[in-house]
Amino acid sequence: MTDARPLRADARRNRDTLIAKARELFAGGCFDLRFDDFAKRAGVGTGTLYRHFPTREALAEAVYHEEITAMCDRARELRTTLPADEALAAFLRDVVDHLYSHQGLARTLATLMATRSDALTEGGRAMYEVVADLLADARPGTFRDDVGAGSVMMALQGICAAYDQPTHRHDADGVITLVLAGLRRTAQ
């Protein structure tokens, strides 16, 4: 929705209901559901669906935005509750867990990649910032200075791109293990 005015309470509830139902359906693998059926499953009219989300992609972007916000909030929480190196490791593993449990959303987002979605760009930027912050916290004495957040993000993007492989979960954990080992300073 491009209108900058705040939504009425009932409109906000309907929008939130649509996003929650879409998140649930995407997590359950209902990628091929007819777009109008999202409204029916959420208990709202199709006019309400189209008023808030004119396309499946717009709905997926809204779900993605909320998921990215939650993941970034989680990163900030980890920064305040764990030692820096453990916070980074926990966050990277959380990203893998999240992707694994939201494969339907990953499949939907894969179709958005070709459109160069602003939501994906903004989400990538937000993730980059939290990874950079986690890395900066862990650098003094623990992690190498010559590997930046861009390298970590590239590994995460590779993990995301391979979500549909049969051994994805196991392989993704292995990539995170490699990234963390590669970031650590070696004894001189």
Is 86 within 8 Å of 150 (Cβ atoms)? no
Q: Which pLDDT score is estimated for 47?
A: 93
Q: Which pLDDT score is estimated for 1?
A: 43
Q: Which amino acid is at 141?
A: G
Q: Which pLDDT score is estimated for 86?
A: 93
Q: Judge if 36 and 103 occupy the same domain.
A: no
CATH number, domain with residue 66:
1.10.357.10
Q: Judge if 143 and 178 occupy the same domain.
A: yes
Residue with tokens 């590997």: 147
Q: Judge if 28 and 83 occupy the same domain.
A: no
Q: Judge if 83 and 157 occupy the same domain.
A: yes
Q: What domain count does the chain have?
A: 2
Sign of the CA dihedral with 36 first, then 39, 41, and 44 last = negative
Interacting residues of 72 by C-beta distance below 8 A, sequence separation 6+: 126, 127, 129, 130
Q: Judge if 6 and 31 occupy the same domain.
A: yes
Q: Judge if 35 and 68 occupy the same domain.
A: no
Please state, in angstroms and as integers, the Cα–Cα distance from residue 112 to each residue in 61, 87, 101, 116, 151, following that order.
8, 30, 19, 7, 23
Q: Which pLDDT score is estimated for 67?
A: 86
Averages of pLDDT over each 10 residues, the chain, 188 residues:
67 90 80 82 92 88 88 95 94 88 66 66 89 90 87 88 82 93 79
Q: Which pLDDT score is estimated for 19?
A: 92
Q: Judge if 38 and 64 occupy the same domain.
A: no
Interacting residues of 8 by C-beta distance below 8 A, sequence separation 6+: none
Is the residue at 188 inside a domain? no
Q: Which pLDDT score is estimated for 3?
A: 54
Please state, in angstroms and as integers, the Cα–Cα distance from residue 31 to each residue in 23, 25, 28, 38, 45, following that order.
11, 8, 9, 11, 20
Q: Judge if 129 and 42 occupy the same domain.
A: no
Is the residue at 10 inside a domain? yes
Which pTM value belongs to this model? 0.81
Q: Which amino acid is at 157?
A: Q
DSSP state of 187: P
According to DSSP, the residues that pair with 184 across neighbouring strands are 143
Q: Which pLDDT score is estimated for 61?
A: 85
Interacting residues of 90 by C-beta distance below 8 A, sequence separation 6+: 78, 82
Q: Domain residues for 25? A: 1-54
CATH number, domain with residue 2:
1.10.10
Alpha-carbon torsion angle 106, 12, 130, 160, nearest 10:
0
Is the residue at 93 inside a domain? yes
Q: Judge if 41 and 62 occupy the same domain.
A: no
